[in-house]
Amino acid sequence: MNIDENPAQDESDSSARGSRRLRPWVTVVATVVLAVMIATGLRIAVVDIYTVSQVSMAPTLEDSQRILVEKDYPGEQGVQRGDVIVFDGEGSFTPYEGSSSTLSQLGSRIGHWFGLSAPPATYVKRVLGVGGDAISCCDDSGRLTLNAEPLTEPYLGREVDAANPASELSFEAVVPPGRVWVMGDNRAESIDSRALLGAPGGGMISEDRILGRVSGVFWPWDERRELQEVSYQQQ
């Protein structure tokens, strides 16, 4: 009886079978890693996703909505009046917020990556004045004025008149160069530049604190839409 024994060949066949079994898993892991790297690059350089954690921008943006934020803003054109922006309020808006622990801040940042929460001290507001602008409230018709011209604000979702002014809080300010005057669309529930006139920076946000411009709503899926652009360009 002749028996051909080749242990080396058996080991080679076994190794090949093991390699074939591992190959699909290696492909899946490599694909996931590549996808994460691409997503990270896009979120760092192009567009990020933030969660609205406030009611100050209703009805334009609602609490818990996920929004798309363009990271290359303001770009060559600079900050534009009427734009809705996300910014870091550290040192300006934070006095109105309770202090949070390091663990809580870490949890918020992780939650931001997965679209579950906003990073600490992050706010979304509308730009109404840029460097050099004079902004005040209110004229005889209850409207804000920008460089002595009344503003029409369709995003407020309500009629504005002398009995129902655009802001219950009267103010008058000139925006310094390199800063912006921001307000929420839900004026009754918004802490913004109006309430910070006595704070460092006079209630205005430094342009280098801007994280990006809101371009649209991403989630919930049935509420997805582009944000309507509003332009208040003046000579």
Which residues carry out catalysis? 56, 125
Classify 11 as helix, strand or coil: helix
Contact 147, 175 (CB under 8 A): no
**Residue 143: CB partners within 8 Å, gap ≥ 6?**
150, 151, 152, 153, 160, 165, 166
155 DSSP assignment: G
CA distance 191 to 195: 6
* Residue 154, preceding peptide bond in cis (omega within 30° of 0): no
CA distance 21 to 142: 72
Contact 171, 144 (CB under 8 A): no
CA distance 235 to 224: 34
